[in-house]
Structure 1
Amino acid sequence: MSLIEILGAVLSALAVWLTSRRSMICWPVSLAAAGLYSWIFLQARLYADAGLQIAFCLYVVYGWQHWRQMAKPDGRIHVRRPTRPTLLKGLLCGAAGSAVWAFILARFTNDPTPVTDATLTAYSILAQYWDTMRYRETWLLWIVVDSAYVTLFLSRGLYPTALLYAGFVVLAINGYRLWKPEASG
């Protein structure tokens, strides 16, 4: 456990809480947290997760701009409803990304859990994309992914991070409750 990991956990929890509240400040807080966690995961040899944090940084920049363009007068974002084909395509892309990334990790790195690391990374990217697109279903996917991450981080000795991700599950449940699409969706 390090001070960087604790700070990353606190900023990450704050970012998710702010996102569940549909607050624009979630984006700069998310950017700081992702930067810290890219370092933490590199140190833990979770290379896919380190790369994921870099992808999150790119999504943060995109999401911040996207949400700013779609903000309501009260500053909150409009939640959208994806179609079933959109959801299915996303899940299939996650599976394909998992397979490719698992192959790369198993072949070219010393990642001790390449399939798990790759799968959680691929579906985290999908969940982040759904968040950027303002789909309520992002929270359901985060519940599944973050629950699995708790086990992974416990196995790697990242106890504050495992606790953080257990908290993310609770925050995601609340986010799903709060993000109700408007009828015009």
Structure 2
Amino acid sequence: MKASLDHLPPARQAELARIQEVILEELETCIKADVKARAKRYRLLKLVLFGSFAKGTWFEDSRSGRASDVDLLAIVSHEALTEMSAFWGEVEDRLYSDPLVKRDVSIIVHTLQDVNRQLKDGQYFFSEIIQQGILLFEDTEPDKNGNPKNLIAKLAPPDPQRSAMLAK
């Protein structure tokens, strides 16, 4: 996974920084408001930009007002965070109304465990995100022994049976 936004104009880089800031603020507020002790362990582990902005193929047409949206994969620590569709909808609504964010933002949310399972299964969608995506944020807190945790699995080769089935 890449980590550089150098291919994007400074205004787009600033916009992505604002998007990341809003997501982290909203998640922190949500976690603090949750009275359950386990919610305090909920974390955004990684935020990955994918799609046209990651690939450098985005478009903006000032005459029609059409523009590429920003596609993000939020990799989270707990399944409960993936099931909070109202919360993630509110995050997208806040981004939509933020004057510093000039385009629509689409966020998909998966646990690290699920992403790693999909990668080990050779699932094309997640493999493409990991190969072409850009890491915007990463929780770098080490494990108890000081080793990196929250690692992305190695990409598995595509499953030929699955590829043949998808080609039909």
Richer in strand (by share): 2
Fold shared, TM-score > 0.5 on shorter chain: no
TM-score of the pair, normalised by structure 2: 0.32
* Larger Rg computed on CA atoms: 2
